[in-house]
Amino acid sequence: MKIFFTFKKNMLNIFLLFLLASQVTVISCFGSEKAVIKNGLSSQILSKPAKAGDKISYSFVLKNTKKTTQSFFLVIKNAKELASEVSLSDTLVTLKTHEEYEGTLEVIVSERIPVGAYENIDLNVISKEDGSVQTLQFITVREKPHPFLLATEELFTEVQEKIKNYDWAKSNFNSMLDEMDKFQFPEQKIITKPRPTQVWSSLNYKPSDSEAAFKLAIAYKLTGEQKYYNKLITFIQNFCNPEKGYLSVGAATNGVMVHEGNFFLHLAAACDIIYNELSENDHNNIVKIFRQYLRQNRLHMNSLGIMNHQASANAGAILVAMYLQDITEVNFLTYADGGMADQIGKGVMADGWWFESTVNYCYLVTQRYCLVAQAFKNYGWDLYHQRFPAKYKSKDFVNAKEGFAGMKFDNWGPTGKNTRGVEDMVSPYIPFMDENAVVVSSNDSRATAPDPFYELAYREYKQEELAWVLSKSNRDSWISLMYGVAEIPQVEDPRIQSAFAPNVGITALRSQKKGQKPEEQIQAYFKYGTHGGWHGHFDRTGMLALNRYGHRFFGTEMAWFGYGNAGYKECVQTSATHNMVIVDEMQQEAVPSEQTLFFAGEMMQVSVTETNARWRKIPSHNLEKFPPWDDTDFETEPIFQRRLSVVTDDYVVIADYLKATEKHSFDWLLHPVGLKNTKGLTEKGPMMDVLSTSSTSPYKYFKQAQWYHMKKGGLVQFQDEGINLDVHALWPKKADVFLANYPVGGKQHEIKNNPDRRTLGIRTKAEGVVYITVLEPYSGKSTISKIESETQKEMTVFLKDGRKQKIQISNLKNEEKNVEVTIVEQNNKTIVRTEETK
């Protein structure tokens, strides 16, 4: 029995809203509806391929929708201009009211059409009564021999030479063979699995199973060993079985659109490689499941559905349509609402970042469209250099209005040039990498290592910065094996200077001490830009990360609760889990913010970021709703928030200024690992089980909280894996301080869910506040002897090597003027060097 979940379209849109938020989905089937082009004239398939001299038959349906008998002339437009021989089953048709006529258009493909090229054939249906014209356009392709998607015969020859002559390629290949020898597809069966608010069925494949199928096809082509083919063809025949395979349930994986897209992308590429060894029955079954996926994909496409989910589904559908050499469908998937042009034109911001501002999803979309670009190139088209019009990205998402649960879906910052393309997408992340080419985490992401798409990008664009990224990668993917250049040139590190990107709104400040190694740089990252929709965090002015000696002190996935968990929006995304100042234990409004100062000098690197946002309680989890969140209203007036960040050779200065019209509770928060020591803090009251018992406060996730009082500033020291972080609290001198356990949402992995992570909070209740702190990340012994600060406008840092650095800050509390900073270094009372942001 076939199992289909069918929804009315408006209900589907509501359903998709939650799917995109919670990362779980059902693929719904609506049957094999005809592709209606005009009222009364339709055809299921408008584009087919064939060899020169072969005949193609197109079927179409004409329906008389009027209340009287009608006659229609059927005419091929400009028939004399066509290379192919075209004929119609009839040229005059008379139909009674609501009567249907099924016609046939036959095309004998001309050898004058180049291989892989196509010819547009327009069928005009002209009403004899009123002269009105309806048109169907059929696109006939002179068939291009397979394979041509992600592999070609020429490419296989190139790969064999690489394996023969280069150790890295040979090692890559042997590892892949070993992996494929051990790999087994799961038993194909239908599973019914509960999601956060729904239960539905799918086959039990993982998204990566079809990529394994593609690697089996590569292994077979490069070795000729039948065992790889046997394993692959068994999987394909099972999956395409009309009774027990994909068509029986309408979903390949138990995941979401993004996974279905990846699954079908690689499945099409695998079938493409062994195309000439498939039986006629195999071909027919493959076409059926591919056509069904294309029908389902159309139902998800929406001009308001710009996101990694729809982009991945779109990319998978494009490769499926290319496999079928259905040019009509490729064009639709490229230019229709929600298609590739929409995804790139709206989703790629002027600085090149994907709007979700979440590195792993940025990489995902870039990889998918790089693979599409390579398939286009293999077919003879050029997507790598194609430009699409830059488009305005709506503030709304499908049926989610702007601001639902705090989410913002539009793009902020400069609008940039008037086009976007794949070339914009491949390199904007490099300025925000560490010395190992790992991109700083932002929004719902971890610190992310190089993706294999850099192999495709360097092969095409030959940019030195891309070569540097590849030099830091493992080069162990099939993309590396198939498309990686044999030798990577040695190039200089392209990202040792400070940098910023104004749309994603990330600033990287890197110390510039002469003679230091890249890993010895202090690297501090700050956030002020585009929210990122469902994956956005509420951390404008926050410090995203601090790195030194290969150690990552912070990230935006320091705790992780799954998308369907209450802790996702109640904890992970909230302001409280970030390194920033928060107001009244609430959540910052996501509004366009700005960087008003960026200075990249030799002594200091400086940024000032600002926002003027309201604050509200966190959304709360509610399974009775769909999506399962209770939204909240704003409870404060707009509060001006400014952060000055200064990175020197030895330490980081952070100065925060907040100004409100009413009295508020301001908490300066930092979340390091490994509490070691405190100075200047006196315990205040007993340890609390939780920092807050309020259900609407994110502090309910912070356990084992101890309050202190500070009278003359304080020092809190941390140590993690032998690397130290000293936090000098200079202003305010008097304040309440708390230390609590940072939330843990699951198993520990890298910096995520570390049970030794602590939260340091400094609380002030006032209408306005200035916080000035100094962070010193170091290995071995501290370089700071002491710090003196008599006013909020200046400080003097005494270093153990005899140097003395005086930092002066102007206009921090003047909202109408830009902040200015001066640093003066003395040694034995002699001014050695000085620098100012003016």
DSSP 223-264: H--HHHHHHHHHHHHHHT-TTTSGGGTS-SBSS-HHHHHHHH
3-state secondary structure of 146: coil
- How far, in Å, CA of 18 to CA of 581, rounded? 31
Task: Enumerate the β-bridge partners of residue 683.
Answer: 708
DSSP per residue over 410-442, as a string?
Answer: S--S---SSEE-HHHHSSTTGGGB-TTSPBPP-
Q: Are 338 and 305 in contact (CB under 8 A)?
A: yes
- How far, in Å, CA of 383 to CA of 259, rounded? 23
**Residue 140: half-sphere exposure toward Cβ, Cα within 13 Å:** 28
Closest CA to 582 of 695, 693, 698, 694: 698
Same domain, 129 and 175: no
Instruction: Indicate the range of 3-12, 386-395, 430-439 predicted with least confidence.
Output: 3-12
Q: How confident is the model at residue 399 (pLDDT cuts 50, 70, 90)?
A: confident
Contacts of 282 (CB under 8 A, 6+ apart): 233, 236, 237, 240
11 sits in which H/E element: helix 9-22
pLDDT at 185: 98
DSSP per residue over 453-508, as a string?
Answer: HHHHHHHHH--HHHHHHHHTS---SHHHHHH--S-PPP---TT-S-EEETTTTEEE
Query: 591-600, pLDDT tens digit by residue?
Result: 999 999 999 9
Residues in the chain: 838
DSSP per residue over 60-79, as a string?
Answer: EEEE--SSS-EEEEEEETTG
DSSP per residue over 679-725, as a string?
Answer: EEEEE-SPPEEES---TT-GGGG-EEEEEEEEEEEEEEEEEETTEEE
Same domain, 137 and 151: no
Both structure tokens of 293? 């996926």
Q: pLDDT exceeding 90 applies to what percent of the chain?
A: 91
Same domain, 432 and 519: no
Start-end of H helices in 533-672:
566-567
Q: How confident is the model at residue 17 (pLDDT cuts 50, 70, 90)?
A: very low
289 falls within a domain: yes
Q: Are 128 and 70 in contact (CB under 8 A)?
A: yes
Q: How many domains does the chain have?
A: 3
Q: Residue 377 above 90 pLDDT?
A: yes
Higher pLDDT, 556 or 23: 556
pLDDT at 300: 87
Both structure tokens of 562? 């799954």
pLDDT at 22: 36
Name the domain boundary from 768, 786, 804: 786
Same domain, 277 and 403: yes
In degrees and rounded to multiples of 5, residue 177 shows phi and psi of -60, -40
In degrees and rounded to multiples of 5, residue 311 shows phi and psi of -65, -40
Name the domain boundary from 483, 512, 537: 483
Same domain, 756 and 727: yes
In degrees and rounded to multiples of 5, residue 663 shows phi and psi of -75, 135
Q: How confident is the model at residue 2 (pLDDT cuts 50, 70, 90)?
A: very low
- How far, in Å, CA of 422 to CA of 372, rounded? 10
Query: 309-352, pLDDT tens digit by residue?
Result: 999 999 999 999 999 999 999 999 999 999 999 999 999 999 99
Same domain, 377 and 478: yes
pLDDT at 198: 66
CATH code of residue 261: 1.50.10.100
Same domain, 601 and 749: yes
CATH code of residue 548: 2.70.98.70
Query: 509-554, pLDDT tens digit by residue?
Result: 999 999 999 999 999 999 999 999 999 999 999 999 999 999 999 9
Q: How confident is the model at residue 13 (pLDDT cuts 50, 70, 90)?
A: very low
Same domain, 611 and 691: yes
- When pLDDT is averaged across residues 789-816 and rounded to a whole number, the result is 97
Query: 173-219, pLDDT tens digit by residue?
Result: 999 999 999 999 999 999 997 765 567 799 999 999 999 999 999 99
Both structure tokens of 752? 């995520």
Q: Is the pTM of this model over 0.75?
A: yes
Same domain, 536 and 465: no
Q: Are 493 and 483 in contact (CB under 8 A)?
A: no
Q: Residue 10 above 90 pLDDT?
A: no
| HEC letters along 603-623 | CCEEEEEEEEECEECCCEECC
- How far, in Å, CA of 438 to CA of 430, rounded? 9
Instruction: Indicate the range of 1-5, 146-150, 575-579, 820-824 predicted with least confidence.
Output: 1-5
3-state secondary structure of 307: coil
Same domain, 449 and 587: no
807 falls within a domain: no
- When pLDDT is averaged across residues 154-158 and rounded to a whole number, the result is 98
Q: How confident is the model at residue 614 (pLDDT cuts 50, 70, 90)?
A: very high
Q: How confident is the model at residue 400 (pLDDT cuts 50, 70, 90)?
A: confident
Q: Residue 36 above 70 pLDDT?
A: no
What's the farthest any 2 CA atoms get from each other in the chain?
A: 105
- How far, in Å, CA of 632 to CA of 530, rounded? 21
3-state secondary structure of 168: helix
133 falls within a domain: yes
Q: pLDDT exceeding 70 applies to what percent of the chain?
A: 95
- How far, in Å, CA of 640 to CA of 636, rounded? 12
pLDDT at 27: 29
188 falls within a domain: yes
- When pLDDT is averaged across residues 108-114 and rounded to a whole number, the result is 98
Q: Which range marks the domain in which residue 66 is found?
A: 52-142
269 falls within a domain: yes
489 falls within a domain: no
Instruction: Indicate the range of 131-135, 254-258, 585-589 predicted with least confidence.
Output: 254-258
Same domain, 367 and 294: yes
Q: Packing angle between helix 209-223 and helix 167-182, nearest 10 degrees?
A: 120
Q: Residue 228 above 70 pLDDT?
A: yes
Query: 288-299, pLDDT tens digit by residue?
Result: 999 999 999 999
In degrees and rounded to multiples of 5, residue 289 shows phi and psi of -75, -30
Beta 605-613 vs 639-647: how paired, if at all? antiparallel
Q: Residue 556 above 50 pLDDT?
A: yes
What is the amino acid identity at position 222?
Answer: L
Same domain, 58 and 175: no
Query: 402-429, pLDDT tens digit by residue?
Result: 999 999 999 999 999 999 999 999 999 9
CATH code of residue 127: 2.60.40.10
Beta 47-50 vs 133-142: how paired, if at all? parallel
Other beta carbons within 10 angstroms of residue 178's beta carbon come to 10
pLDDT at 39: 55
Identify the residue whose tokens are 């500033």. 713
Other beta carbons within 10 angstroms of residue 110's beta carbon come to 15
47 falls within a domain: no
30 falls within a domain: no
